[in-house]
A = this chain, B = another copy of it.
Amino acid sequence: MEKQKNMENASENKPWIRTVTPEITPPDLKDNTADVDRLIKVIKKALSTGSVSVEFKLVQRLSRTMRECDYNVCAILFEGPKGWHLIDIVPSRDGESIYGLAVDLGSSTVVIRLLDLISRKTKDEMSFHNPQIEIGTDILTRIHFAAQEGGLSELQGLIIDRLNHKIDQLAQKNGISAGSIVGMSVAGNTTMTHLFLGLDPYWLCREPYIPVINKLDPIKSAELGLAINPVAPVLVFPNVGSYFGGDLIAGILASGITQSNETSFLVDVGTNAEVVIGNSDWLMACAGAAGPALEGGVADMGMMAGPGVIEKVRSDPSSSEFEIRTIENQPPVGICGSGLIDLAAQLFLAGMIDLRGKYVAARCGDRLVEIDGIKQLIIVPSRDSATGQALTLAQTDIDGLMRSKAAMYTILTTLSNSVNIPLSKITRFYVAGTFGSYIDPQSAITIGMIPDLPLETYVPLGNTSLEGAGMALMSSQAKGEVFRIRDRVTYLELNVNQEFMNLFSAAKFIPHTDRSLFPSVKERMY
């Protein structure tokens, strides 16, 4: 409810990309003001501003367009940090449709949203794999590749070309011209943003982890080779550091936590777990490697969400049989992060794993097998799986999950300790990302990943990076808030935090060494 209200407030706000249809008196001998100066004068009046800049390349054709339509033009402008800038003019008879693109620049998946900048409504949306995956699925591989001769420009070229291809598809599908796309906002992590901009990511992964730049003024799209209006501003979300990027700032914006006096948590679990606590006065953030076990590729049977991937698991206490639900109800092919958490919770509640996360042979029965010296639990027998192979969960996979869940809980505890607010006092806990939408809070509580709070405390927000990017593109207030958020975030470095290591050890049990922290879990145990 609160979040909804904030977003409405933001969109009621003034746009920073807009059109103006000024009344221009054509020149005569008594007023020989030049064409461009004449245009700028009326625009200044219409916008009640003292400053309207004109890109030099634009000057070269403004006069012609003005004369071709007898000075009846519609001007498209954006407001930068130092005043308004002319993006383009079009004959006013051609109408005033202008569009923008919000981009969630993920390392795995990129989502672009086409927005009508007049009605402020979403017109279309498209998602696709980040083509840099062909260089490397993980970020470090891409950073190393960028250090090779020509590597950086190849990585940048891959994402720019794919974006242009998708923008073209989106424009054609919606019957609009690329030139009418007059703004873009891009939220991504710090490395993805560096690669998008062609900035050297070399130092991002080397102590003391320094980005090339934190805050950028909007960039002309032509400078990035983007196939939209060449003077369109590209708002690239700023970062707080190597490990706290623009995607999280977009998330904070979208969550609305900075619009409230109440202190809330925002958790985004991707490759890293990124966590923010704060309110309208302050923001404290940290990030840690909590995520690997929760993303595809860590567990042998783990994978990213897709058809046939197990997303929910329930167990029947009497039979020890699993009731599984797959995406699109396809025969099971593997398991995703939310499914894994569900599964671990069920295994624990059924006594099939103990409080250290180790398989209990007596409870697992003949489902437990040993392959290459590693204990594996058969989750889906070969006859039921889509692959013809049994889907199994190795002890090592559970061990990985235990570290991840411990890291997550420890990050949350460390952060709340750092601001001296007990976890139990938090009334709102926003969970961002695809993962956030699928995760079952009860299961996550059961394994001690997140605090044992009333379930309604947990609010899934979906793709907050995309949502925040769209908000900042459409509202001047939201755009300003992006930079205020960035400047207000205090980043807590966990790598040098001794308290973290102590808490981490205590959190490597299910649900925790201190059982009193998780009263509801005991009730649910068989």
Contact = CB atoms under 8 A, between A and B. Distances in A.
A522 interface: no
Contacts of A32: 208-210, 241-242, 491
A320 interface: no
A36 B217 contact: no
Interface stretch (A130-138, A198-206, A394-402, A455-463): A198-206
A199 B59 contact: yes
B212 A59 contact: yes
A32 B208 CA distance: 7
B82 A37 contact: no
Nearest to A190: B34
Given A60-B199, A63-B203, A219-B56, A213 B29 contact: no
A100 to B, nearest CB: 19
Given A60-B198, A83-B82, A29 B214 contact: no
A59 B217 CA distance: 11
A42 interface: no
A372 interface: no
Interface in A26-49: 27-29, 32-37
Contacts of A64: 200
A34 B216 contact: no
A147 to B, nearest CB: 12
Contacts of A223: 56-57
A524 to B, nearest CB: 43
> A51, A209, A214, A239: which has the most chain B beta carbons within 10 Å?
A214
B59 A216 contact: yes
A213 B35 contact: yes
A498 to B, nearest CB: 15
Nearest to A496: B29
Contact of A34 (B34, B211, B491): B211
A180 interface: no
Contacts of A216: 56, 59
Interface in A56-76: 56-57, 59-60, 62-64, 67
A30 to B, nearest CB: 8
Given A53-B217, A63-B200, A64-B200, A36 B210 contact: no
A219 B203 CA distance: 33
Interface in A178-225: 197-200, 203, 207-217, 219-220, 223
A493 interface: yes
B35 A212 contact: yes
A317 B303 CA distance: 110
Contacts of A27: 208, 210
A67 to B, nearest CB: 8
A196 B149 CA distance: 38
Nearest to A83: B82
A402 to B, nearest CB: 29
Contact of A212 (B34, B81, B83, B211): B34
A35 B210 CA distance: 7
Contact of A36 (B60, B208, B213, B496): B213
A64 B146 CA distance: 14
Contacts of A491: 32
A521 B212 CA distance: 75
A217 B242 CA distance: 36
Given A203-B63, A219-B56, A34 B83 contact: no
A493 B29 contact: yes
A85 to B, nearest CB: 11
Given A27-B210, A56-B197, A60-B198, 18 more contacts: A28-B208, A29-B208, A32-B208, A32-B491, A34-B211, A34-B213, A34-B241, A35-B210, A35-B212, A36-B212, A36-B213, A36-B214, A37-B215, A51-B82, A54-B217, A56-B220, A60-B199, A60-B200
Return the 9 tightest CB-CB contacts between A and B, nearest first: A82-B82, A36-B213, A34-B211, A34-B214, A63-B212, A37-B214, A29-B208, A27-B210, A32-B241
6 contacts: A29-B207, A33-B214, A34-B210, A35-B210, A35-B211, A35-B213
Interface of A: 27-29, 32-37, 51, 53-54, 56-57, 59-60, 62-64, 67, 81-83, 197-200, 203, 207-217, 219-220, 223, 239, 241-242, 491, 493, 496
